[in-house]
Amino acid sequence: PIMKALTTETERKIRMVQLRTVSKREKILFPVVLLLLVALLLPDAAPLLGMFCFGNLMRESGVVERLSDTVQNGLINIVTIFLGLSVGAKLVADKFLQPQTLGILLLGVIAFGIGTAAGVLMAKLLNLCSKNKINPLIGSAGVSAVPMAARVSNKVGLESDAQNFLLMHAMGPNVAGVIGSAIAAGVMLKYVLAM
């Protein structure tokens, strides 16, 4: 509803073209440079972003194909199950359903709404000074819900124009949202641990 409220039908129909292909060298250098910058400037966020960069490097390098395949498929499912079980075992109803917890959930919903609206409005602002028009729907994918935020942007775009595929364009802001969230978590950890 936020995306549709902030965009017109014409804006939702904006078709974006791929600007250029990204070389293999750039795909390999990106996680390395990102991790070096984060480790130098924000060491507390380095472990979290390090895992993201390591997975990206494994996939893009093509050197450890079998290991990369295992991590992307089997291992991620096992880790997700154990994470769900360990968190679920700690979630006792009388401890979880408290005003404080519900307030945190409400803040999360509000943050997602603000992030979605801000992304759409920023894309509209960029359209005022850009010669290549940006579909404002991809701005809403800037929240770090990978890959669902990008899929929702694509779905809303397809509702307006059945040939307007925005998924890969929306993945850029989506991954940027993940990186931004990890860095924000690192900053918060730094201040919380310093108390």
Q: Please tell me the predicted confidence (pLDDT) of residue 190.
A: 84
Domain residue spans of the chain: 2-11+22-194
Q: Please tell me the predicted confidence (pLDDT) of residue 8.
A: 93
DSSP string for residues in 115-178: HHHHHHHHHHHHHHH-SS---GGGGGGGSS-TTHHHHHHHHHHHHH-TT---HHHHHHHHHHHH
pLDDT tens column, 61-77: 999 999 999 998 999 99
Mean pLDDT in consecutive groups of 10 residues from the start of the chain, 195 residues:
93 89 94 95 89 92 92 92 91 82 92 94 93 92 90 95 93 92 87 83
Q: Please tell me the predicted confidence (pLDDT) of residue 144.
A: 83
In angstroms, the CA 153 to CA 75 distance is 29
Whether cis (ω within 30° of 0) applies to the bond prior to 99 is no
